Amino acid sequence: MIELKNIDVQFKTKSKEIYAVQDVSIQINKGDIFGIVGYSGAGKSTLVRTINLLQRPTNGSVRVSGKQLLDLSPEKLRQERKKIGMIFQHFNLMNARTVSGNVHYALRSSPLSDKQKNEKVAELLELVGLADKHDVYPSQLSGGQKQRVGIARSLANDPEVLLCDEATSALDPKTTLSILELLKDLNEKLNLTIVIITHEMEVIKEVCNKVAVMEEGSVVEQGDVVSIFTDPQNPLTQEFINTATHIDQALEKLAKHPSLLNLNREDTIARLSFVGESTNEPLISSLYSKFAVSTNILYGNIEILHDTPIGNLIVVLNGTTSQQQQAIHFLESQSVTVQQLEHIHIDEKAKVVPLNRKQVI
């Protein structure tokens, strides 16, 4: 559906050259809700703007629905761009036009008759839940309602792809969820392919099936959301996920937990992550029956991602070193990811960090 290959985008300013995007390749399939996550300045907007060539790449190829966009004539490119809708953080509505006027405007070069355009606008407003706001001006709408207008407008020409650049970043958490629900709905109802840019992994967790993590112009990790959430490889991905799953907060609190302050030398602190079925197995009790290793659960959380439960436990394992090792091997053989942690003091502050990595996870 969308294939970006070896994309570079370089900006030349008077004083320096900026490599905003460096050798990025991603493939987005029809029906995907593909998330691109990264901190501000990572190159997300620049990358996504290459999908409709609002930003021409310095190098690389952009293929959308089988067409190599860089080879198209300006007129053909205009036609292809109509199949790609876009919404923005600050909505970009025209304040002098009503809600319906804003959506109408997107149909200005459509071949539909006036009557058909009116029907189309009414249909779109219904679809985004704003049927009663037809004649209202944007200044009278809440942020969430404004974004709904933005969505209705972006769908006016029946696009196959919707690009969302920080579309929920100006909204409160509850409104964010309602907009994400709407996007998920549109994805299902219209088989709309959606690309979501965000700096919040929570947004990815909520709706995306695929994710790419960007840092300094490059994609440092990508894959399906369930695998990335259960077994993130890159430290930046781990950081985003720990924030989204509240593990970082838990570790901070646990650093002061009495059971960690009174550990035996042989005890192991570990984070256990698991997907789906392994949550049903009474794994923890079998560690005791099989290996005489007792498990003290300090923290637990289960997230449901696309109907797949993903669990995270922070535990202390107690037993002899060899019993514990056997227990860890057993857990791994049951598809549990085991990350050993240690309790250390940095700058007189107690922290729980990955073993042998003097860095907070």
Ligand X SMILES: Nc1ncnc2c1ncn2[C@@H]1O[C@H](COP(=O)(O)OP(=O)(O)O)[C@@H](O)[C@H]1O
- The answer to whether 179 and 19 have CB atoms below 8 angstroms apart is no
Cβ-based nearer residue to ligand X, 169 or 337: 169
Distance CA 13, CA 15 (A): 6
Cβ-based nearer residue to Mg ion, 215 or 267: 215
Closest CA to 87 of 41, 30, 150, 152: 150
- The answer to whether 334 and 291 have CB atoms below 8 angstroms apart is no
Q: Does 35 engage in binding with ligand X (CB under 6 A)?
A: no
59 binds, among Mg ion, ligand X, none (CB under 5 to 8 A by kind): none
- The answer to whether 42 and 204 have CB atoms below 8 angstroms apart is no
Cβ-based nearer residue to ligand X, 89 or 193: 89
Burial class (CB in 10 A: 0-12, 13-18, 19+), 77: middle
Q: Does 15 engage in binding with ligand X (CB under 6 A)?
A: no
Local structure of residue 43 (DSSP, 8 states)? S
Q: Does 11 engage in binding with ligand X (CB under 6 A)?
A: yes
Q: Does 168 engage in binding with ligand X (CB under 6 A)?
A: no
Least separation in angstroms between residue 18's CB and ligand X is 5
Q: Does 20 engage in binding with ligand X (CB under 6 A)?
A: yes
Residue type, 88: F
Cβ-based nearer residue to ligand X, 138 or 217: 217
Cβ-based nearer residue to ligand X, 41 or 354: 41
41 binds, among Mg ion, ligand X, none (CB under 5 to 8 A by kind): ligand X
- The answer to whether 156 and 6 have CB atoms below 8 angstroms apart is no
Q: Does 41 engage in binding with ligand X (CB under 6 A)?
A: yes
- The answer to whether 179 and 154 have CB atoms below 8 angstroms apart is no
Would you say the C-alpha torsion 60, 51, 232, 275 has a positive or negative sign?
negative
Task: Please state the separation of Cα 312 from the chain's center in Å.
Answer: 19
Least separation in angstroms between residue 11's CB and ligand X is 3
Least separation in angstroms between residue 57's CB and ligand X is 12
Least separation in angstroms between residue 39's CB and ligand X is 7
Instruction: Show Cβ contacts of residue 27 under 8 Å, excluding neighbours closer than 6 positions.
Output: 2, 3, 4
Residue type, 260: L
284 binds, among ligand X, Mg ion, none (CB under 5 to 8 A by kind): none
How many CA atoms are closer than 13 Å to the CA of 79, on its beta-carbon side?
A: 7
- Binding track, positions 42-81, relative to Mg ion; x by CB under 5 A: ---x------------------------------------
Q: In this chain, which stretch among 34-42, 143-151, 260-268, 312-320 interacts with ligand X, using CB under 6 A?
A: 34-42
Q: How many helices (H) and strands (E) does the chain have?
A: 13, 15
Q: Does 226 engage in binding with ligand X (CB under 6 A)?
A: no
Identify the residue among 42, 149, 244, 251 touching ligand X (CB under 6 A): 42
Report CA-CA distances (Å) from 61 to 26, 56, 69, 111: 11, 10, 8, 31
Identify the residue among 38, 138, 159, 319 touching ligand X (CB under 6 A): 38
- Using only C-alpha atoms, the chain has a radius of gyration, in whole angstroms, of 24
Q: Does 159 engage in binding with ligand X (CB under 6 A)?
A: no
Q: Does 323 engage in binding with Mg ion (CB under 5 A)?
A: no
Cβ-based nearer residue to ligand X, 38 or 144: 38
Q: Which of residues 28-47 bind Mg ion (CB under 5 A)?
A: 45
Q: Does 232 engage in binding with ligand X (CB under 6 A)?
A: no
Residue type, 253: K
Q: Does 37 engage in binding with ligand X (CB under 6 A)?
A: no
18 binds, among ligand X, Mg ion, none (CB under 5 to 8 A by kind): ligand X
Encoded tokens for 167: 């579309």
Cβ-based nearer residue to ligand X, 40 or 333: 40
Which residue is listed with tokens 């227990």? 327
User: Which positions lie near ligand X, rule CB under 6 A?
Assistant: 11, 13, 18, 20, 38, 40-46
